[in-house]
Amino acid sequence: MKVQEGLFMVAILYFAYTQLVKGQSQPRQDCQTRCGNVAIEYPFGISSDCYYPGDDSFNITCKEDMPYVLGDIEVKKFNHSGELQVLFNRSSTCYDEQGNETISEDGNFRLDNLTLSAKNKFTVVGCNALALLFAFGMQNYSIGCISACDSLPEGNGKCNGVGCCRSDFSFPLDSYIFVTSSSRISDQAPVQTFNPCTYAFIVEDDQFNFSSSEDLWNLRNVTRFPAVLDWSIGKQTCEQVGNTSICGANSECSNSTTRNGYICICNKGFDGNPYLSHGCQDIDECASSKHNCSGTSICENTLGSFDCKCPSGSDLNATKNGCTSKERPEYFEWTQIFLGTTTGFLVILLGVSCIQQRMKHRKDTELRQKFFQQNGGGMLIQRLSGAGPSNVDVKIFTEEGMKEATNGYDESRILGQGGQGTVYKGILPDDSIVAIKKARLGDCSQVEQFINEVLVLSQINHRNVVRLLGCCLETEVPLLVYEFITSGTLFDHLHGSTFDSSLTWEHRIRIAIEVAGTLAYLHSSASIPIIHRDVKTANILLDENLTAKVADFGASRLIPMDKEQLTTMVQGTLGYLDPEYYNTGLLNEKSDVYSFGVVLMELLSGRKALCFEQPQYSKHLVSYFASATKENRLHEVIDREMMNEYNQREREIQKAARIAIECTRLMGEERPRMKEVAAELEALRDTKTKHQWSDQYLEPEGINQLLGVEILSAQGETSSTGYDSIKNVAVLDIGAGR
């Protein structure tokens, strides 16, 4: 078992090592890739980490926009197949008429890990001239060439020993320093006036054509000649390096034929730099005309190759890559007739389908326009255009946009349902999250009032009111779009299991102050007073910082400046509904005060406003809370989460309880205004006010009788009640929504 574990670790270390080697062999992304007009391609590179590591022969020096290898050998061209074209200096010796040597130049250069290619020729130009080439390294080596002539040779382009001599050479791989030298055969050899100098140089084959009239005089003033150097990667073969070679994708490793080491070659059908990880790219033979498709055949590019395709009714001739017509069988004509008939039928069917789609689209457009006008779209646009320089910023959304935002009103997007409608989580095209409320069917006569509400609510700029972003009027019932609050409702935090319900006294009194201040703002500071009419913990949202946000103004009503109350159909939630409003149908701001008092009792007790599972005496929170407060049993109804703070906060909690009792008085005129409630609650935190209210409490029996708790047998915990004062009909709509 230990041996197997050891082998496994060795395999892992070997894999990691090979990956590390491959990773180190690639150049940096910011490497310089040009020097003047010459492209510098890996494994050659300028500066460290840009050329193949461990071999300075690949290090290119860029001086005056010219690349140099090994310090002073100028590079003219790079070749991925292991060749490098460079310029070598010539070696020359000149003599005067008396035979004295006047100028002597030697061409010497160091090659390190580069080698001279067999494509080069050692050449001497001159009369009665001798040239030698010496190689110094681990093994010394030399070759020579002699050129003799007594007069100016006839003819050009021939280097046959008369005025010009050329020799092949092959040096061992460990040679790295070469020196060329030229001189006369002997001091007694005459100096020809047409040939004052002898020249020796290395030049690539076919890159020098001898001209006797010019070259014997001054070699046409050429001082450097093009030569070819061989290079390779490392000293090992492809078999020895295995998968650690630096050859990239779509390439293969090939052993060098001129020296030790290997080179990389792009696979057939690919081109580029095979030494880069993704250097070899597919050649589009069809675009570059590197294909042999002929006649009517069509070239189709494939990865690394191409195919010749023929049109329908013809076959490919593999020999000529051209197309020939197929022999049609007897049933071909019947097949054509069948296909023609089928195609015609499909075209007709497609045309009918397109006409139906256009008619449906037109019908949908007309229906959307009908709903838009029916829901007051024209009135809203008119009001917006005449709004002047106000804070009105209402966006009118399309039906299609709302469907996309709610994923087709998917059930998984439902945030809540209640008497006023269904609320969905929506995601707009800019990825912003919103709450989209789809109202229930309402009275068409309330369109103008709805438009007024949209305009007024859109102008409410209060940090504790859920902001209205816009609406959609193209649906049968209008949709309202609100900002999305992340942490659920106050009801969820007090009674639900989704959130941690451990709200401290500081959290609860701050939430109460924020809600009270918001209602006071709506009643007194808004441009047109607004009565919420459905204040409850389910309509109070909390953000990530537990900041209260009053929501759901679907039941809200605007109070004209010349009226203090309205006669409306009774609407609200049992447990929070103002008894006076329920009995008379007269709506005023004191109805919100009553509902807020119930919310405050919920914050203090942690109990639901109406719970049928409780005993008869504690089903209705208002009566139970009032009895406990009157009989000095307040500690019995205080939320257990706050009991550890009760002794320290007893005075503040009792004052908050007294405020809740005052808000839920039977007669609206005996209740305080929301301004006063907000001030009293703020004073609890500041402990500076000494304002006291009366200690008279409403009898629990009276509250129960007015609300009709003893006659309810509903399935849920909350309900909406309606009363139309014109028709004198009471409506009871039981539900557990928000």
- In sequence order, the 6+-apart residues with CB closer than 8 A to the CB of 675 are 520, 523, 524
Compute the distance between CA of residue 21 and CA of residue 31 in angstroms, rounded to an integer.
19
SS3 state of residue 358: helix
> What is the distance between the terminal CA atoms of the chain, rounded to a whole angstrom?
67
Single-letter code of the amino acid located at 280: C
- Residues serving a catalytic function are 534
SS3 state of residue 672: coil
Q: In the structure encoding, which two tokens stand for residue 447, read together?
A: 């369109």
Identify whether the C-beta of residue 38 lies closer than 8 Å to the C-beta of residue 77.
Answer: yes
List strand residue ranges (DSSP E) for 222-358, in order.
224-230, 251-255, 262-266, 270-272, 280-282, 298-302, 305-309, 314-317, 322-325
Single-letter code of the amino acid located at 411: E
Nearest to 218 by CA among 109, 320, 103, 372: 103
Identify whether the C-beta of residue 663 lies closer than 8 Å to the C-beta of residue 597.
Answer: yes
Compute the distance between CA of residue 506 and CA of residue 493 in angstroms, rounded to an integer.
15
- In sequence order, the 6+-apart residues with CB closer than 8 A to the CB of 513 are 678, 681, 682, 685
Identify whether the C-beta of residue 78 lies closer than 8 Å to the C-beta of residue 40.
Answer: yes
Nearest to 25 by CA among 253, 209, 213, 184: 253
SS3 state of residue 522: helix
Helix H segments across 397-496?
Answer: 399-405, 447-459, 490-495
The total of other beta-carbon atoms located within 10 Å of residue 595's CB is 27
Compute the distance between CA of residue 511 and CA of residue 554 in angstroms, rounded to an integer.
22
Single-letter code of the amino acid located at 498: T
Identify whether the C-beta of residue 661 lies closer than 8 Å to the C-beta of residue 597.
Answer: yes
In order of 397, 422, 441, the CA distances from 473 in angstroms are: 8, 16, 13
Compute the distance between CA of residue 476 and CA of residue 367 in angstroms, rounded to an integer.
9
Compute the distance between CA of residue 13 and CA of residue 19 in angstroms, rounded to an integer.
10
